[in-house]
């Protein structure tokens, strides 16, 4: 896999779309260093397109350090590409070989339509969080750290769930385009902590309703999402979401 | 009072919970069915099996149990179709390149297909031994079963049906317990193994009858 300083020649099959319909286009890119990131490689492609007087390719990115959740892309059939727990911006071309053909597509879900080329509208996820993924109490000043005892395991699990950056790789990898891993992380991070408990019953119902209303699919418990997640969010959160939902039915406020 | 069933029917998680409960109850039925069938292995010309069958048929509660079973199957199938159709809708434009992340199994990928194959098998099975093709039959049920399973086509249909059942059940346990919120990180590998074991026991257990009567007890 390692290529030292040798540069790579790549054939890129990329989804391009400006109206309601799109198509796969092929580009050839030369002299790609194995040390550049995947997004820098796309920057190189865009410079080549500009030099040729063509439209640039639109793709999402922001922090380029794996924490913002803006970058996406299904690369050779895998969300965020071939490396585990790695966002597209943290993926480097050393993960590919000279002469490779790389297929690049947007994350696909009816609830997350393509805006242009590889850019999708992920506001459905925002609507789910807006439906209940918050704590609506005035927190006031920081209180004594030991005033609210939190068992260590709960704190750890909550922090693990809170690692979700909302990139939607779970939706993209799921054969049903289900957003259950995302919703389960957002429900879990609050349900496990004392600050989130007062609203846990109301929260889970509202967030599940928002998820269903957006048109995401159902969870068939394959676990593909967990493997695709750049933050390693566990499907144990989905089991917790299911428990929280059932709890809200049998123990309503 | 109707709040809970309505919520279960109208939400994605609720429908999966109902599928899990109906599915697990159907597995319970299969286990009892398999245990009852084991009497076919007794070397008494099917007398024990016939006695078992008579005990069931003469029980006044049988129609009620059959109705319950019918409702379980109907609910599981209807919910499965509803969920599957919704899942197909949810993707929209398909991927050009598709790679699995390594967690999918043949069972998890084919729940709809294997489920429909089991349904086809179920119809054949009911026509064989419950509805008797609409004809009035007076001979012993054990004799009918053995005759059907000794024939090549019969043995083949029953073995294929059980292969579909095994495939379907291989994803059943871990999926249903996860949908019910009863699974956690520590037990996923164990659950997957237990699920495969359950599927193998069920499929091989039921397939043992056509195999036994086709290959061994040809008499």
CB within 8 Å: A103 and B188:
no
CB within 8 Å: A246 and B181:
yes
Within a domain: residue B101? Answer: no
pLDDT of residue B105: 95
Within a domain: residue B100? Answer: no
Within a domain: residue B50? Answer: no
* % pLDDT > 70, chain A: 98
- Residues 6 or more apart in contact with residue A78 via CB below 8 angstroms: A173, A228, B99, B101
Structure ipTM: 0.93
Average pLDDT, chain A: 95
Number of domains in chain B: 1
CB within 8 Å: A13 and B96:
yes
Q: What is the largest CA-CA distance in chain B?
A: 60
Span A159-177, pLDDT tens digits: 999 999 999 999 999 999 9
Q: How confident is the model at residue B136 (pLDDT cuts 50, 70, 90)?
A: low
Within a domain: residue B103? Answer: no
Minimal Cβ distance to B95: which of A105, A221, A244:
A105
**Least Cα separation, residue B181 to chain A (angstroms):** 4
Would an 8 Å CB–CB cutoff place A206 in contact with chain B? no
pLDDT of residue A71: 96
A3 pLDDT more than 60: no
A5 pLDDT more than 70: no
Asked whether A17 and A117 are in contact (CB, 8 A), the reply is yes
SS3 content of chain B, % helix, strand, coil (to 5): 80, 0, 20
Within a domain: residue B91? Answer: no
Would an 8 Å CB–CB cutoff place A178 in contact with chain B? yes
Provide mean pLDDT across the span B108-134: 91
The SS3 assignment for A119 reads strand
Residue B170 vs residues B16, B25, B30, B44: alpha-carbon distances, Å: 17, 16, 14, 34
- Residues 6 or more apart in contact with residue B79 via CB below 8 angstroms: B15, B18, B19, B22
Q: Using CA atoms, how far apart are residues A190 and A227, in angstroms rounded to an integer?
A: 23
Can you spell out the DSSP letters for B111-125? HHHHHHHHHHHHHHH
Annotation: CATH topology of A8-105: Ubiquitin-like (UB roll) (3.10.20)
**Least Cα separation, residue B105 to chain A (angstroms):** 8
Pair type for strands A101-105 and A8-17: parallel
Size (chain A), residues:
253
Q: Using CA atoms, how far apart are residues A240 and A166, in angstroms rounded to an integer?
A: 18
**Residue A12: strand pairing partners:** A27, A102
pLDDT of residue A200: 94
Residue A62 class from Cβ within 10 Å (0-12 exposed, 13-18 middle, 19+ buried)?
A: exposed
Q: Which two tokens stand for residue B110?
A: 């084919």
Provide mean pLDDT across the span A52-65: 96
Residue B171 structural domain: 3-42+61-86+108-216
A2 pLDDT more than 70: no
Span A105-157, pLDDT tens digits: 999 999 999 999 999 999 999 999 999 999 998 777 888 888 888 999 999 99
CATH of A123-136+148-250, one of 3.30.420.40, 3.90.960.10, 1.10.1060.10, 1.10.10.10: 1.10.1060.10
Can you spell out the DSSP letters for A206-242? HHHHHHHHHT--------HHHHH-TT---THHHHHHH
Q: How confident is the model at residue B156 (pLDDT cuts 50, 70, 90)?
A: very high
Span B24-71, pLDDT tens digits: 999 999 999 999 999 999 888 889 999 999 999 899 999 999 999 999
């Amino acid at each position: 896999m390692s290529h030292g300083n040798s540069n790579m020649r790549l054939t890129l099959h990329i989804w391009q779309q400006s109206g309601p319909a799109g198509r796969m286009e092929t580009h050839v890119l030369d002299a790609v260093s194995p040390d550049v990131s995947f997004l820098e490689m796309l920057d190189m492609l865009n410079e080549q397109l500009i030099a040729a007087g063509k439209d640039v390719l639109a793709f999402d990115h922001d922090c380029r350090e794996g924490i913002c959740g803006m970058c996406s892309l299904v690369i050779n059939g895998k969300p965020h590409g071939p490396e585990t727990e790695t966002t597209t911006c943290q993926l480097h071309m050393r993960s590919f070989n000279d002469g490779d053909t790389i297929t690049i597509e947007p994350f696909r879900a009816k609830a997350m339509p393509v805006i242009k080329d590889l850019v999708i509208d992920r506001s459905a996820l925002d609507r789910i969080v807006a439906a209940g993924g918050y704590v609506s109490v005035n927190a006031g000043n920081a209180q004594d750290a030991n005033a609210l005892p939190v068992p260590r395991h709960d704190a750890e699990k909550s922090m693990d769930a809170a690692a979700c950056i909302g990139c939607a790789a779970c939706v993209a990898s799921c054969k049903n385009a289900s957003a259950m891993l995302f919703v389960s992380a957002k429900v879990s991070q609050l349900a496990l902590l004392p600050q989130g408990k007062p609203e846990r019953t109301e929260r889970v119902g509202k967030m599940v309703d928002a998820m269903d209303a957006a048109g995401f699919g159902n969870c068939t418990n394959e676990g593909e999402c967990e493997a695709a997640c750049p933050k390693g969010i566990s499907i144990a959160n989905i089991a917790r979401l299911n428990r929280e939902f059932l709890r809200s039915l049998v123990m309503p406020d | 009072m109707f709040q809970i069933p309505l919520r279960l029917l109208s939400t994605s998680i609720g429908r999966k919970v109902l599928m899990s409960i109906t599915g697990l109850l159907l597995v319970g039925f299969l286990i009892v069915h398999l245990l009852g069938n084991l009497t076919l292995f007794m070397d008494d010309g099917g007398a024990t099996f016939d006695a078992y069958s008579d005990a069931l048929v003469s029980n006044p509660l049988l129609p009620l149990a059959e109705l319950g079973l019918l409702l379980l199957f109907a609910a599981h199938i209807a919910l499965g179709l509803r969920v599957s159709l919704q899942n197909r809708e949810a993707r929209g434009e398909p991927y050009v390149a598709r790679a699995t992340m390594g967690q999918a199994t043949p069972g998890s990928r084919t729940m709809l297909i294997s489920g429909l194959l089991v349904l086809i098998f179920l119809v054949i099975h009911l026509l064989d031994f419950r509805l008797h093709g609409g004809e009035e039959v007076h001979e012993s049920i054990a004799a009918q079963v053995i005759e059907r399973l000794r024939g090549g086509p019969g043995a083949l249909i029953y073995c294929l049906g059980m292969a579909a059942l095994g495939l379907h059940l291989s994803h059943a346990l871990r999926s249903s317990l996860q949908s019910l919120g009863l699974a956690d990180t520590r037990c996923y590998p164990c659950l997957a193994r237990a699920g495969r074991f359950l599927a193998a026991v069920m499929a091989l257990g039921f397939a043992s009858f056509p195999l036994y009567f086709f290959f061994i007890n040809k008499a």
